[in-house]
Amino acid sequence: MLTRGAFIVIEGLDRSGKSTQAAVLKERLAGEGVQVELMKFPDRTTSIGQMIDAYLRSSIELDDHVVHLLYSANRWELATRILDLLASGTTVVCDRYAFSGIAFSASKIKTSNRVLPYAWCRAPDAGLPAPDVTLFFDIAPSAARARGGYGEERYEREDMQGRVMQAYARLGAEMEAERPGSWVRVDAGQSVENVTKEVWDLVSPLTRGIEGEVGKLWVGE
C-alpha cells in the first residue's frame, strides 16, 4: 500500500510554545531526511490572512461572525495544498488549526453572554483535512502569562484564556471519542528541551509514512 505524509497539528493556549516547538520539530525532521513542511494558521500572507492580521492588531473592526468565517476560509484556501503535500509523502507540521478557530470564537463574551455558539463555530470547518495527531500544549494560563510578549493582541486576557482552555478540553474529548490517540496532551510547562523531547517521542514514529486516506473533520455527525 502507498504511504503518505503525516499531518501533525500543534494546538494550545497563547504562549504555550507552539511556534517554538513547531520550528524545532521541522528542523529536526528535515535533519533526519524527512520531507517536511511547516504551516501556520492564521496564514497572514494571503489576502484573507491580511484581513485577519489587521483585525488581530486592532487596526480594523470586524463582526465576530465575519472574523470567525475568515479564519475558516483561511484554512479552506490552503486545504488542497495540505492534501497535495501529504499525498506527495511530505509530513505537514501545522502551528494552530481548526481547534483554535472554535476554541477562541466560542469563548468570546459580551455582557456575560457567549457571542457565538460552539456548534455554529465548528460547522464551517467540517470537512477539512483531519490531523493524524493533534498535540495539545497544556499549560496553566498564569504560567503562559509569565512568558514574553503576552498581551499585545486581542484575546490575550487571562479570563478569556480560561474559557479557551475549557473549549479545548471539549474538543479534545470529542476527537478522542471519534478516533482514540488523535489528541495527545503535552506538558508545555516544562523547559524547551524537555518539551522538544516529549514531542519528538510522540511524532517520530508517525513520520515513517502513514497508510490510508487523510480523514475529514466532523463529517460523521
Beta bridge partners of 39: 94
Q: Rank residues 85 and 160 by Cβ distance to ligand Z5A and give the closer one.
A: 160
Closer by beta carbon to ligand Z5A, 4 or else 18 = 18
Select from ligand Z5A, Mg ion, none the partner in contact with residue 99, using the beta carbon and a kind-dependent cut-off of 5 to 8 Å. Answer: none
- Near ligand Z5A by CB under 6 A, which window of 78-86, 112-120, 143-151, 202-210? 143-151
Beta carbon nearer to Mg ion, 19 or 46: 19
Closer residue to ligand Z5A, CB minimum distance, 87 or 119: 119
The residues, any chain, with a CB within 8 Å of residue 5's CB and separated by 6 or more, are: 35, 85, 86, 87, 88, 89, 90, 91, 92, 207, 209, 210
- Dist. CA 129–CA 110, nearest whole Å: 32
Quick check: 153 binds ligand Z5A (CB under 6 A)?
yes
Q: Considering only residues 7, 55, 71, 136, which one is a binding residue for ligand Z5A as defined by CB under 6 A?
A: 71
Residue closer to ligand Z5A, measured from CB, 56 or 184: 56
Which grid cell sits at 17?
510554545
Q: Check binding of 101 to ligand Z5A (CB under 6 A).
A: yes
Instruction: Give the shortest CB-12-to-ligand Z5A separation in angstroms.
Output: 6
The bridge status of strand 183-187 relative to strand 210-211 is unpaired
Residue 27 is inside which H or E element, if any? Answer: helix 18-31
- Please report, as residue ranges, which positions from 6 to 35 form the binding site for Mg ion (by CB under 5 A): 18-19
Span of 10-18, 86-94, 127-135, 200-208 interacting with ligand Z5A by CB under 6 A: 10-18
Burial tier of 145 (Cβ tally within 10 Å: 0-12, 13-18, 19+):
middle
Rounded to whole angstroms, the maximal C-alpha distance in the chain is 55
Closest CA to 97 of 135, 140, 51, 138: 135
- Footprint of ligand Z5A on this chain (CB under 6 A)? 14-20, 41-42, 56, 71, 96, 100-101, 104, 147-149, 153-156, 191-192, 195
